[in-house]
Amino acid sequence: MSTYFFGDTAVLTGRSMRHVFRSVDTIITTAITPIAMMLLFVYVLGGAIETGTDNYVNYLLPGIMLIAIASGIAYTAVRLFTDMKSGIFERFHSMPIARSSVLWAHVLTSLVANGLSVVIIVLVGFVMGFRTSAGLLAWLAVAGILALFTLALTWIAVLAGLSAKSVDGAAGFSYPLIFLPFISSAFVPTDTMPGPVRAFAENQPVTSIVNTIQDLFAQQPVDSDIWIALAWCLGILAVGYVLAIRVYRRQIS
């Protein structure tokens, strides 16, 4: 690792963050759209959904946060793809900087941008009636799980951005990820689903992550879901990182 890796990454991250704050589309997609979905489910559909909880916002919020992250990482792929096609990567590589800092800048930008979106969504949730007895440690655990989930999906986004042939292709990979929370315990308990759908819902990563966050917010003991959630996140992170680095090295060699 280059001696200047951290400084180079900080400078390039600042550049990427300026692009985020100048993009109205990013703000709309990563914050306003999930909030609109939360309003729809709580005030239009919530009365017809039985979750066994007194406050549907409490049940719904973890899934909405995951949807926001899944939609937000699409912009990481698009920004990376745009940089590649504009020739800026070649300029960076001609400079005496750590080459890996180019990718890590996009990854850190994704963490910060999606973190801000999640904070906005949580604040709106409080306005809508979200309440929790979670203490500091529980909140830190939720933040850690969401950060790990974001990091894992971001490296998949990096892989998509490096491999895509068009902007639509770079962003399109995120659509299944956005849809995944709808076939999980994010909106309704899985025991209300038909057999095959329930089997899928209970054995995909979003359900274990949602269940863990719900338990942490409710100050209930977390069960094996937290280990399953961590295993999913770490597995996706490892696969995405290895494949993205391999593709990146092949392209710059």
* pTM of full prediction above 0.85: yes
Residue linked to tokens 């180079």: 8
Residue 93 has a pLDDT of: 66
Q: What is the dihedral of CA 203, 239, 236, 29, to 10 degrees?
A: -120
Sign of CA dihedral 153, 154, 155, 158: positive
User: What is the rounded distance in angstroms from the CA atom of residue 172 to the CA atom of residue 194?
Assistant: 29
Residue 2 has a pLDDT of: 53
User: What is the rounded distance in angstroms from the CA atom of residue 99 to the CA atom of residue 63?
Assistant: 36
Residue 65 has a pLDDT of: 95
Q: What is the 3-state secondary structure (H, E, C) of the chain?
A: CCCCHHHHHHHHHHHHHHHHHCCHHHHHHHHHHHHHHHHHHHHHHHHHCCCCCCCHHHHHHHHHHHHHHHHHHHHHHHHHHHHHHHCHHHHHHCCCCCCHHHHHHHHHHHHHHHHHHHHHHHHHHHHCCCCCCCCHHHHHHHHHHHHHHHHHHHHHHHHHHHHCCCHHHHHHCHHHHHHHHHHCCCCCCHHHCCHHHHHHHHCCHHHHHHHHHHHHHCCCCCCCHHHHHHHHHHHHHHHHHHHHHHHHHHHHC
| Low-confidence stretches of the chain (pLDDT beneath 50) | 1
CA angle, 138 as apex, 135 and 139 as ends, to 5°? 85
Residue 1 has a pLDDT of: 47
Burial 9-19 (b: 16+ CB within 10 A, else e): beebbeebeee
- Written as six digits, the tokens of 210 are 């949602």
User: What is the rounded distance in angstroms from the CA atom of residue 166 to the CA atom of residue 81?
Assistant: 8
User: What is the rounded distance in angstroms from the CA atom of residue 29 to the CA atom of residue 42?
Assistant: 19
- Write the pLDDT tens digit of every residue in 181-222: 999 999 999 988 998 999 999 999 999 999 999 999 998 888
